[in-house]
Amino acid sequence: MRFGIAAVGVLALITGGVGSFVLDSDAAAVAVLAAGTALLIVAVVLPRLTEFDVRKDGVSLKLTQEAVTSGAPVAAAVMENSGLSRFAIAYEIVHAELRGDPGLDRARVHLQDVLVERARAMAFASKIPAAEVRALFLEGSPVLRILGIGFMKGDPSTADVALLASAVAAPASANEQFQTLAVIEQLWSRWSRDERQYLQSRIRSTDFPPGTDRSARAAGVLDLPVEPRTPRP
């Protein structure tokens, strides 16, 4: 059955490619490509997920324990109670299974985007101390770092310029770097003149692969004004 699902997924991906590049039908192609990717994930990754216990008393508890050890007990409790820790563990497994296959890069990026948005929504609804967000980012695993970026996005009061600059210059993953640039751009109006100059200097000193989304996002941040807007009289 797995082989059958995978075969249908491959066929859907081929059909989507034809629709995009031959028939010039973007809307239909995107839908078919999404369906094909989903089928491949089901066929390749779902059996792997069943090998893990992602319930409250399973491996998700290890993630919350790691958060506590990192110095973020409030964030750990909120993550466990909201189900975010179980989603993060499932993401980590799927992300690892899809790594190394260029054809599934977009699927991996999409999953990380969803994780960041879930963390953003949780931070918006639950107050997590800024010191804990910093601790998750400095002491946590790559998945906890991603959650930290999502928390900063949902609660700008926890955003730390130094942490964001370090994530741009030395990210744990390419998508972490992209998400960091997105947060910097989103919160640009909050930064002071000195903070803006500092962030832009770190971006200028970082090499981004030409033609990538990260490169385009970095260029967009560099085009933003350094001087904060003054209110009109």
Measured in whole angstroms, how far is the alpha carbon of residue 118 from the centre of its chain? 10
Task: Report the pLDDT value the prediction gives residue 101, as an integer from 0 to 100.
Answer: 66
Question: Tell me, what's the pLDDT at 85?
Answer: 82
CB 111 within 8 A of CB 143: no
pLDDT tens figures, 120-152: 988 888 889 999 999 998 888 888 898 999 999
> What per-residue confidence (pLDDT) applies to 200?
97
Per-residue pLDDT band at 13 (split at 50, 70, 90): very low
Q: What is the pLDDT of residues 15-68, one digit of tens each?
A: 444 444 444 444 444 444 444 444 444 444 444 444 444 444 444 567 788 888
pLDDT tens-digit series, residues 64-95: 888 888 889 999 888 888 888 887 877 777 66
Q: Show the tokens assigned to 122.
A: 């949780």
Q: What share of the chain is helix, strand, coil (3-state, %, to 5)?
A: 75, 0, 25
**If you search the block for the tokens 């059996």, which residue do you land on?**
47
pLDDT score for 205:
95
What pLDDT does residue 23 have?
44
Instruction: Please tell me the pTM assigned to this model.
Output: 0.69
In whole angstroms, what is the distance from residue 22 CA to residue 18 CA? 5
Question: Which two structure tokens, joined as six digits, stand for 116?
Answer: 């960041």
pLDDT value of position 20: 42
Closest CA to 132 of 77, 53, 73, 197: 73
